Chains A and B, each alone.
Chain A
């Protein structure tokens, strides 16, 4: 392992950067990024379990089920539902649900309806005006022109409203198919989530005892009462880890930490 940090270059399976201002998560990110030159280590690159327990900080939180399951998977352990889960995920990949967003079509109907109503009122008003003028013996030519103009526009608006309504009806019928697909997708996603939960439980159960057995070196409490960083440390020991582990908790010195974790270690 070769670590370029804190103004120097450090080589070896154990690197001591205690007292430097290197941030643990930044270093862990460098470990996980094969293109980041600050940490060079032999392949294989960091795995899923490294993402969970490869950076041990005093303020970290640990999803215990997830971490234990990742520890199990790092040893190649599989869950009974893995095949079913893969099939469901493949079905999900293949699903391509169309859009159901009809806001524009709905707005067109609302606008067209409002315009038609407005013109209806205008026509009625103008009719009333014409009648009143004629009854009063006044010239109604201008009003009559306005009426004919408004009537023409009302006719156009009525047509537009009809067209808008029909377009919305068609769009709604199409959307029903898209909703069917989305419903199918939702059902598959729920099934995938349940299968993942089942897998996680099975895998976590498979390694819980081993992690528990590794705990006394770092904690004098049982697993359930031990803090997240210490559980992560024990999990790191049991995991099959290739990439260097960043340890920023102050339990042992660098050599002892590396010895416990059984992986290249950077102590911060």
Chain B
């Protein structure tokens, strides 16, 4: 004996748009067919997929990595602070001191000049 899958394809927008009465009418027409198959011991399983919005697309292969991305919501909207470069190192040192005063942890802040990115990855 061999099992077969009978897959039903239909236009989701149509099927999803049936009224309760329309839906019941369709099921009523199918019911005797189901019954016959069941009586003959041939109906292994019958199911109905929910509309695709309720499902989840899972990409093949390894799980997609979590990465950063250009999202305005965290980078332009919900932002607890600004990050800038300053004109002189003394401003950087002052800010670091302010942070050190505000901090209760035992770490320390390093002030180092930010290096401008270059296309070959080399130093400026």
Do A and B pair up? The answer is no
- Write the residues of chain B forming the contact surface with A, with a CB cutoff of 8 angstroms: none
